Chains A and B, each alone.
Chain A
Amino acid sequence: MGGLSRKAFMIEKKADDTALPWLAVDAGALFFASPFLPPADLAQAKITASGIAKAYAKMGFHAINVGRRDLAAGIDFVKKIAADNTLPLVSANITDTNGALVFAPVLFTKIQGLTVAITGVADHNTALPPGNEATAVSSWRAVLPPLIKQMQAKADLLIVLSNYPARENITMAKEIPRIDIIVQSGHSGANMGPKKIGAAAIVQTEKRGKYLGMFRVRWHGHGPWQPIDRKENDLAQKKRELDGLSWQIRRRGRTLNSRQKKSDTIYQRLSQEKIELERVIATLEKQQQQTGKSDATVSAGPSYANAFLPLPLVVPENMDIQHIVLATEKEVARLGKLAVPAKKTDLPLVGWRACMGCHEPQTAFWRKTAHFRAYDTLVNKGKETTLSCLPCHVTAPAATAAADSTYLLAMPEDLRGVTCEACHGSGVQHVTAPTAHAMKRRPQPSDCLRCHTPERDDDFVFERDSERIACPAR
């Protein structure tokens, strides 16, 4: 959760730079890394989720959708952290088994004199995690059409926060054309959008929050979205200029009689500008009629400018949020230290010192790589007891980790770091009969991609990077 403070800084900076008011939303899948967490990970994950809730409340987010993943620790836990932090959770389709809504179905907010209505939907197509036996998720088709009608009666701009995949959201936009914006969450590994479907714009940043999406809205009523840049020069812009000019002329003329108007240079100049502008507008309208383009699509409707703001480590921190993040990480580490079990001695791995006897140059080479230091990087950050980080910083068989991850807290020293057996497989049989049981010479892409995922390491290229860490030949 280290980047939340950079996100908070970026929101403040962009709001200052543009001097515009803002809304902030999250479409769900915020609190947990997975919908199904190993039981041993749950205590730490809940502390992290509470810290995230606190940080988002502090950042002033206006609406946060509840996704399926957010229910990983049970629905009661989500309700609790929302209540503890006055967090604006929203969901139109999560109910109890009696059909009663668990969260607010719509949140209304005012901005620039507009009323914005925000609702949210979770994906109903997949099973809920344990702890949600008394919870049901309805299809968006069942809940959204009547709800959108209600929202439309009370609000100018309608936003749906959706935890559904892109395909489903496109269908949603087609079937409910009154939706203005759909913000997606969870599924895509890349920044997306705005994808314009009818009058809706669908947007999403890539998962894991490496970017902050910024969608600048210039609202002139419901209609197809157009980019602000293009729209600035079009008919609607000229008509807005004419409105302003007409207002100035009326204002100026209010204190002048007919004779004075003729001799007043400012009044005459404004009047002349108005005649010119009306001529330009007439020409543009004529051009549109000739090209068959509907005036409604140009003179009415909203326009936008979208940007994906990267949040690299060089972005400064918001200190209030950083304080929350550090306190949360400290609490997670404290809990991890309490959970450290006895040293694990029955792992089906031998550790790097067993390899060194016969493979000394290879071991010496490996000890100069980042893989050797992988565990130390956690120690340096005080995260060596954080269970969600450990699987990529120690060498452990994946099947064992899934069963009970607490043993990761007590790894033998020879298996701390990404050691020989992470790439070459278990050496248990090899050390007893080296010739009969040859080791895997090179790792497979899947060995590396378990940790070097695009979200964690978007510069990873298997052919290039596996060559870079390849041990020297015997």
Chain B
Amino acid sequence: MISFTRRRSLFLPLICLAFLVVPYAHATQSNDFLLFYSNDVHGETAPCG
């Protein structure tokens, strides 16, 4: 268990961390995604035998 005083001492670093991370989250925000496509006649990917 973390004591009340310990919790209070964690508060400021956590807030600072959030301020540090948010700008980068903004900077890396993107419209990236993957489009998988296949051309799969009869679902094949290998010979029969």
Contacts and interface: CB of A to CB of B under 8 A. Distances in A.
B16 to A, nearest CB: 11
A112 B23 contact: no
B34 A209 contact: no
A18 interface: yes
A51 B23 contact: no
B35 A22 contact: yes
B49 interface: yes
Nearest to A453: B47
B5 interface: no
B23 A248 contact: yes
Nearest to B45: A3
A110 to B, nearest CB: 11
B48 interface: yes
A50 B24 CA distance: 47
A113 B43 contact: no
A186 interface: yes
Interface string B8-29: 0000000000010011101100
A448 B3 CA distance: 80
A374 B39 contact: no
A443 B42 CA distance: 29
A108 interface: no
Main secondary structure of the interface of A (DSSP, over half): mixed
A400 to B, nearest CB: 20
Contacts of B42: 1, 30-33, 48, 52, 208, 388
A378 B49 CA distance: 5
A218 B36 contact: no
Given A3-B46, A7-B45, A27 B31 contact: no
Nearest to A221: B31
Contacts of A357: none
A393 B48 contact: yes
A208 B40 CA distance: 5
B41 A69 contact: yes
A113 B31 contact: yes
A51 B27 CA distance: 45
Contacts of B4: none
Interface residues on A, range: 35 or more
Nearest to A307: B34
A58 interface: no
A245 B27 CA distance: 8
Nearest to B30: A218
B32 A218 contact: yes
B23 A15 contact: no
A308 to B, nearest CB: 10
Interface stretch (A93-101, A146-154, A177-185, A275-283): A177-185
B36 A6 contact: no
Contact of A209 (B26, B27, B39): B39
Given A1-B44, A4-B45, A205 B26 contact: no
A269 interface: no
A457 interface: yes
Given A209-B44, A210-B45, A204 B34 contact: no
Given A15-B34, A383-B48, 20 more contacts: A3-B46, A4-B43, A22-B33, A22-B35, A22-B36, A23-B35, A23-B36, A26-B37, A33-B44, A114-B31, A181-B35, A183-B37, A184-B39, A185-B39, A204-B37, A205-B37, A208-B39, A219-B33, A251-B22, A378-B48
